[in-house]
A = this chain, B = another copy of it.
Amino acid sequence: METVERLIRSTQELLWERGYVGTSPKAIQRAAEAGQGSMYHHFAGKAELAKAAIERSGAELRAAADVQLAGAGTAAERISGYLGRERDVLRGCQVGRLAADPDVVADPELRAPVAETFEWLRTRLAEVVAEGKRTGEFPDSLDPERTAATIAAVLQGGYVLARAAGSTEPFELAVQGLVDLLGAK
């Protein structure tokens, strides 16, 4: 693998596990098996490399979500499929995790790819909910934009509750509860 690619992937992993505050340039270089000179040859510093890593993580989240959301099946099936797909729950969301990071949230350059990823996700979910209203799968009273935000929030909050509990159970309960509510006409 090329050095740039190793640097980006290692930074993605470290940001996911330790966050921006907890990730040092030294740790990145060690994980990427890259020298300090090599890292600074390709990137101006930790912030620029982190931005590239967050953009990559955002692209991965979108691709993974679209497997179900833009896949086959009715609107309700696609949303259930997306909610129920296999996830490493106790690891949490590699993008959502960054919203807890004060230095990411405070830096417009670092926050932008996080914001855009969830903006994209909520827009995509709202499209599927609107489609489900047209086909009569979802009640006409459902507001697509609100419902999309609720769906995205249940997943992100489910990760928080699961990590707090040290168990996937609260995540699964939260998702099942949402599926119940979405099914209630």
Which residues of A does B touch, CB under 8 Å? 17-19, 21-22, 92, 95-102, 105, 111, 114-115, 117-119, 122, 139, 141-143, 145-161, 163-166, 170-171, 173-178, 180-182, 184-185
Beyond contacts A105-B163, A146-B173: 12 other A-B pairs, Cβ-Cβ < 8 A, are: A18-B102, A97-B100, A111-B164, A148-B173, A149-B173, A150-B173, A150-B175, A152-B157, A153-B155, A153-B170, A153-B174, A157-B160
Residues of B with C-beta under 8 A to A173? 145-146, 148-150
Known A-B contacts A99-B160, A156-B157, A170-B122; the reply to A150 vs B18 at CB < 8 A is no
30 A–B pairs (Cβ distance < 8 Å), ordered by A = A17-B102, A19-B100, A19-B102, A21-B21, A21-B22, A22-B102, A96-B164, A97-B100, A99-B159, A99-B163, A118-B161, A122-B161, A122-B170, A141-B180, A146-B180, A149-B170, A149-B173, A149-B174, A150-B174, A150-B178, A152-B157, A153-B153, A153-B155, A153-B157, A153-B160, A153-B171, A156-B160, A157-B158, A160-B160, A184-B185
Q: Which of B100, B154, B157, B158 contacts A100 (CB 8 A)?
A: B100
Residues of B with C-beta under 8 A to A143? 176-177, 180
Candidate in A97, A151, A155, A164 with the most chain B CB atoms within 10 angstroms = A164
Shortest A180–chain B CB gap in Å is: 6
